[in-house]
Amino acid sequence: MHWRLKGLVQKTLGVVPGGEALHYRLQRRYGGLQNFRKELATKVEDWQIMVRHLRDARMPISGSHFFEIGTGWYPTFPFALYLAGARRITTYDLNHHLQDDLVRAAVQELGGFLKAIAEDGGSQLADVEARYRKLAAAVDAGADLGEASGGTIRYSAPADATATSLADGEVDVVFSNSVLEHVPPDAVTAMYRESMRVLRPGGVMFHSVNCGDHYAYVDRKVNQLNYLRYSDRAWRFWNNTFLYQNRLRAHVFVDAAREAGFAIDLDTSNTRPERLQQLRDMRVHPQFAQVPAEQLCITTVDFIARKPG
């Protein structure tokens, strides 16, 4: 599909009555949710990457309170953290996207990943299996996330991650997965400020940011730098309710965390030669001229930012 066609379809669905429900059905039938087993396996891999980085940063899962920004259609990360023994998982979404059928499907598919969750989560397999049996039975009986997890998972939507109801210093880890690239720049800064407030001294933020052009996933004729051809004014037309992209570069997310008072423990941003060549082969809009090519071409970053103390 041509990326402009997808953009126009999403733009239209974002303003017509019933557009959100229709968008979900299209994603299930033709989009990224068509092969849910593959989609969930990818999310589990992302979770494994996160907890390995957290382990290296001396942040255990057992006994910790996690705060997720951006729940999405199904709660892979909260479920995996619950199974691995987290004390509490608070998960916020600006809008209520959670889908009951995908929640049930996620629980079912997670049954095939219990050994991996135990190994990477630092938990005993028998404990993970016991928690899974309780979770699966409760979800199958129609329980919501809180009931199914015995109060461990607390889901709020609509909810604002820039102004939470969490107490000062009650959270050990704030995290997001492929969320910050869809947040307006001012809101990213506000989320960092709120994270600084709710994190305990020595607590961390972990964010995995996919800062490449997401339209490239549906149109193989363009690459993940394609949206850098356009000015902010021109790109505003292609942003929509379902696919807003702020186009911030990887270093901006990390630098903003540092400016908010965090110490950076991890920054995986890396200049890939193929991306650098793609940048050389295209006309970039002059508004990006001040960004060094080695930074401009980076399309993904995982980083850990630690609250002092």
What whole-number distance in Å separates Cα of residue 24 and Cα of residue 188? Answer: 26
Q: For residue 54, what are its two tokens?
A: 């957290």
- Cβ-contact 23, 276 below 8 angstroms: no
Asked if residue 289 has pLDDT above 90, the reply is: yes
Tell me, letter by letter, the H, E, C secondary structure of 81-133.
HHHCCECEEEEECCCCCCCHHHHHHHHHHHHHHHHHHHHHHCCCHHHHHHHHH
Phi, psi torsion values for 90, nearest 5 degrees = -100, 125
Taking residue 216's Cβ as centre, other Cβ atoms within 10 Å add up to: 17
Rounded mean pLDDT of 198-219?
97
Q: Give the contacts of 292 (CB within 8 A, at least 6 positions apart).
A: none
Q: What domains can you pick out in the chain, each with its CATH number?
A: 33-306 (3.40.50.150)
- Please give the average per-residue pLDDT across 161-168, as a whole number: 98
When computed from its CA atoms, the radius of gyration of the chain, rounded to whole angstroms, is 20
Of residues 268, 257, 269, the one with CA closest to residue 308: 257
Q: What is the pLDDT of residues 185-196, one digit of tens each?
A: 999 999 999 999
Residue 58 is predicted with a pLDDT of 96
Neighbours of 130 (CB within 10 A): 12
The predicted structure's pLDDT at residue 30: 80
* Mean pLDDT of the 213-241 span: 96
Q: Read off φ and ψ for residue 73, nearest 5 degrees.
A: -75, -25
**Percent share of the chain, pLDDT over 90:** 93
d(CA 179, CA 81): 18
The per-residue pLDDT for range 141-151, each reduced to its tens digit, is: 999 999 999 99
pLDDT score at 25: 87
Cα separation, 81 vs 61, whole angstroms: 7
The tokens for 46 are 């992302």
Give residue 22's pLDDT. Answer: 87
Question: How far is it, in rounded angstroms, from Cα 259 to Cα 52?
Answer: 26
Quick one: pLDDT band at residue 19, thresholds 50, 70, 90? confident
The whole-number average pLDDT for the span 52-79 is: 97
- pLDDT at position 277 over 90: yes
Task: Evaluate if residue 34 carries a pLDDT over 90.
Answer: no
pLDDT at site 173? 98
pLDDT value for 24: 86
Backbone phi, psi, residue 230, to 5°? -110, 150
Within a 13 Å sphere around the CA of 227, how many CA atoms are in the beta-carbon half?
27
pLDDT digits (tens, 9 = 90+) for 116-131: 999 999 999 999 999 9
The whole-number pLDDT of residue 188 equals 98
Mean pLDDT of the 79-107 span: 97
Q: Output the pLDDT for position 29.
A: 82
Is the confidence at residue 28, as pLDDT, over 90?
A: no
Residue 282 predicted with pLDDT over 90:
yes
| Average pLDDT score over residue span 243-271 | 98
**Average pLDDT of the residues of the chain:** 96
Is the pLDDT score of 26 beyond 90? no
Beta bridge partners of 153: 89
